Structure formats: structure tokens, C-alpha cells
């Protein structure tokens, strides 16, 4: 199995790579984990991880300017129905549009938009940063051996507002209930960082490898 982490200049690549390698080792899987910047290697992969740090527009600008990247990703995900895992802004890019930093269209794989978290309580600050527990809304194998009291590490000011609740795999509470994970067919993403979420994050990665 070849698991490729797409390096498009935006993401905590080294930490993600080490976490995925650790998860594969835990499972005893002979998985080859590689960081790729050559989009031609997408088609040779079995699974893709799309990380993302920074603003939606910054990440989208960079990804959409990579020659052939969008076509290759669409073929991999939409046509071939291979598995992809988006992390933080990488997950947000699955949406139709994100408003951060002036706005940019997304990949359009999961209907919805990425909007700024609406904070009214003066005790709460943006970015939403730190450990929050999640509420699992989709009893999927990706959450195997995890429960609603498990905490994950978040750092973001914008959140994925999905058009359909069926695509919200998990939520968390920050002012209001906000999306913590999305899912649609072979597409999965988390707003939290599994690579920074210790044992719980590794378990999510293990479940992705087994998916």
C-alpha cells in the first residue's frame, strides 16, 4: 500500500508523515508512506492525505496553481473512488467555497462553505485552539475504538458548514456546535489535527489505513 501525503507548500508535512508511519507500524502494515510534490505520483498512490495550514485562500491558491493537480485529484477521488483524508484546511478545501482571506473556490467534493466561527461569548477567542472533545455523528469504521469523550487538538478560526448533515461525521462545541469531521463516500476529513492529537489521533490514522 502506498500512502502519499501531498506537499503543496502548506501543511505540517513532517509531523503528518511521522504520525502515519507510526500508525502503519502499529498495525503491522507494510505501507509505504511518502511525501509527494510531483502530481504525477498521485495516480500511483493507493491513498492520499491532503494536509493544510494557514488560510483557506492561501492553501487553495497554491493547490489550484499546481499544473495538473486538480485534474489528478479529481480522477483519483471522484473517478477512481480512492480514499483521501483531508486535515484542517485540507479538509476545508473539500467544500465549494471558503471565505477566509478574501475567498476562493474549493474542490467542490462535499457541498458546503467554510465560514468564520461566530463568537459572541467574550470568554471565547479565535482561533479556536486546544483540546476539545468530539461528538461522533456517523458510526463509521473511521471512529472504531473511539468514543464521544475523546479529545482532539484543534487550531482554526473558520469552520466547514456542510449543506447536508449527512456529511458531518463528527462535531465539537465552541460557542455552537461546529463540524469536527466530514465524510462522503471515499472522502474523509477532520478539522482537528490527528498528528497532534496523540493516541486518539493515531487511532484515527490507523482506521484510515484500514479503510
Query: What is the set of active-site residues?
Result: 88, 193, 195
How distant is the alpha carbon of residue 165 from its chain centre? 17
Q: Which of 23, 168, 150, 175 is nearest to 94 (CA)?
A: 168
- Check: CB of residue 51 under 8 Å from CB of residue 93: no
Q: Output phi, psi for 33, to 5 deg.
A: -100, 120
Helix or strand run (H / E) with residue 5 = strand 2-6
Helices in 13-172 by DSSP H: which ranges?
Answer: 13-27, 56-65, 69-74, 89-92
- Check: CB of residue 123 under 8 Å from CB of residue 112: no
- Check: CB of residue 125 under 8 Å from CB of residue 99: no
Q: Which of 175, 140, 137 is nearest to 154 (CA)?
A: 175
Angstrom distance (rounded) from CA 187 to CA 184: 5
Helix or strand run (H / E) with residue 205 = helix 198-210
Amino acid at each position: 500500500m502506498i500512502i502519499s501525503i501531498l506537499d503543496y507548500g502548506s501543511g505540517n508535512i513532517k509531523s503528518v508523515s511521522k504520525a502515519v508511519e507510526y500508525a502503519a507500524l502499529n498495525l503491522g502494515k507494510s505501507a509505504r508512506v511518502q511525501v509527494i510534490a510531483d502530481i504525477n505520483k498521485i495516480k500511483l498512490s493507493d491513498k492520499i492525505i491532503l494536509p493544510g495550514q494557514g488560510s483557506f485562500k492561501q492553501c487553495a491558491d497554491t493547490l489550484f496553481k499546481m499544473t495538473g493537480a486538480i485534474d489528478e485529484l479529481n480522477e483519483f477521488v471522484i473517478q477512481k473512488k480512492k480514499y483521501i483524508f483531508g486535515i484542517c484546511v485540507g479538509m476545508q478545501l473539500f467544500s465549494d467555497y471558503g471565505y477566509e482571506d478574501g475567498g476562493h473556490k474549493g474542490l467542490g467534493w462535499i457541498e458546503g462553505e467554510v465560514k468564520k466561527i461566530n463568537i459572541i461569548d467574550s470568554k471565547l477567542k479565535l482561533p479556536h485552539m486546544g483540546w476539545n472533545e468530539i461528538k461522533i455523528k456517523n458510526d463509521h469504521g473511521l471512529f472504531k475504538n473511539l468514543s464521544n469523550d475523546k479529545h482532539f487538538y484543534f487550531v482554526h478560526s473558520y469552520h466547514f458548514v456542510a449543506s447536508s448533515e449527512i456529511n458531518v461525521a463528527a462535531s465539537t462545541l465552541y460557542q455552537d456546535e461546529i463540524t469536527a469531521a466530514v465524510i462522503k463516500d471515499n472522502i474523509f476529513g477532520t478539522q482537528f489535527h490527528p498528528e497532534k492529537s496523540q493516541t486518539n489521533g493515531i487511532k484515527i490514522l490507523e482506521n484510515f489505513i484500514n479503510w
